[in-house]
Amino acid sequence: MECLIEMARKGFAPDWLKEVAEFEGIELNKLLKLISRGEVVVPRNILRNEDFKAKAIGKLVSTKINVNIGTSMDYINVNEEIEKAIVAQKYGADAIMDLSTGGNLTLIRKKIMEVVEVPFGTVPIYEAARSCKRVVDMDEDDFFKVVEKQAKEGVDFMTIHAGVNWITVERLKKSKRLLGVVSRGGAIIIGWMMHNGLENPYYKDFDYLLEILKEYDVTISLGDAFRPGCIHDASDRAKYMEFIVLGELVEKCRQEGVQAMVEGPGHVPLDEIETSVKAMKYVTKNAPLYLLGPLVTDIAAGYDHIASAIGAAIAGMAGADFICYVTPSEHLALPTVEDVKEGVIAAKIAAHAIDLVKKGQKDKARKVDFEMSLARKNLDWKNQFKLSIDPEKAERIWKKRRSTSEACSMCGDLCAIKIVKEALEREWKKIA
């Protein structure tokens, strides 16, 4: 079976892709052209069945959000991770990534995949590292065996830090970074390289990696190993050096028919976000951009989902396509189910705010806001709850201090909308 890029280049669309185009409100032929150029990706393993909810990420389609879940060595509760996946999808996650590092990783991944109906992603190097007593003891084959293993299991997209090489590592050494490398996958590879004195296998044998991914039509998410982990480290040369390498790798992916998106920073102050996003878009020739945040401040512990949503909204206006949620637990602890919910909703608000100004999505997004405004004008609470990102919370707050009037308890009978509406209606009756 052909991979999606090859089908798109021939002008052929499988039935499931027609549903994607209809959902996005984009002409099918236009979507095929965007996929063929690599400006849109639709992560979908070739082993997926028809019930799978494919999602398009990139130019002219709606902004998507990803949710990271998974165990750690300190806390292993598979049932809780399954619940997180269910809750994340309920509140609007467009993709789920399992970043588990503790427990039986194969079993955990299988259990989570059983409840996930949207694109499912992983970071294969985590499992490769866990398979050895010491991370540095991995051999080069271990890097690729785990990719093939997870592809055969049906994983749709994988974060792979192929932009780490001796050139980018040397640039990192010359930097004056405060936090160095905060990417776990990137750190594993850098540690392995420096201990063994060998080039990153994912970079050195990138063509072989693409052969594996293409066989199962797995989308590669080119990881940002050098993303800044604090405002002090934002926009430095190490990060931009990696951008250049990732741009070169994107071109190889497109030549070989492998769908590719690119990951980005990190912690970035407000006034540097647009430059960062546009630079990444330029050097990768408009590859779909997948961002963690960016977080706009380092001091929002417990509220990093808000700091992230602010950065995501600005990044989206500059061209970011795929937003990785951040929870209130970021930098503090493994998130709870409630943390996951809060993170999803914050990211979903940012994604919708982006779509309100995004070419190709503006009209559809603004129609929803118009319907909400109409419901408010008519004091139609049922429809207001329905249109809210979190209907249950909206209704719960309304009921907690419900007004004796048809308005909310903030204004009651002094509701501005109600007063002016009634006044205008009386005036119209006089004219009639």
Binned at pLDDT 50, 70 and 90, residue 417 comes out as confident
Has residue 333 got a pLDDT over 90?
Answer: yes
CA distance 235 to 217: 33
Both structure tokens of 403: 């007004």
pLDDT tens by residue, 88-130 = 999 999 999 999 999 999 999 999 999 999 999 999 999 999 9
* Whether the Cβ atoms of residue 189 and residue 240 lie closer than 8 Å to each other: no
Binned at pLDDT 50, 70 and 90, residue 220 comes out as very high
CA distance 385 to 383: 5
Has residue 279 got a pLDDT over 70?
Answer: yes
Average pLDDT estimate for 20-30: 97
Binned at pLDDT 50, 70 and 90, residue 86 comes out as very high
Q: Which residue has the higher pLDDT, 49 or 238?
A: 238
Has residue 432 got a pLDDT over 80?
Answer: no
Q: Where are the beta strands (DSSP E) in 118-208?
A: 120-122, 157-160
Average pLDDT estimate for 407-421: 86
> pLDDT at position 323, please?
97
Summary mean pLDDT of the chain: 95
CA distance 66 to 323: 6
Has residue 132 got a pLDDT over 80?
Answer: yes
> pLDDT at position 335, please?
97
> pLDDT at position 428, please?
77
- pTM value is 0.95
Residue type, 153: E
Average pLDDT estimate for 350-355: 98
Q: Is 61 helix (H, G, I), strand (E, B) or coil?
A: coil
> pLDDT at position 427, please?
76
Structural domains of the chain, with CATH: 41-360 (3.20.20.540), 402-432 (no CATH)
315-332 as b/e: b if 16+ CB within 10 A: bbbbbbbbbbbbbbbbee
pLDDT tens by residue, 140-191 = 999 999 999 999 999 999 999 999 999 999 999 999 899 999 999 999 999 9
> pLDDT at position 35, please?
98
Largest Cα span, the chain? 88
> pLDDT at position 151, please?
98
> pLDDT at position 156, please?
98
Average pLDDT estimate for 188-195: 97
Question: Angle, nearest 10°, between helix axes 184-196 and 166-174?
Answer: 100
Q: Is 289 helix (H, G, I), strand (E, B) or coil?
A: strand
Binned at pLDDT 50, 70 and 90, residue 265 comes out as confident
pLDDT tens by residue, 318-330 = 999 999 999 999 9
The dihedral built from the CA positions of residue 54, 59, 65 and 69, taken in this order, carries a sign that is positive
> pLDDT at position 66, please?
98
Binned at pLDDT 50, 70 and 90, residue 55 comes out as very high
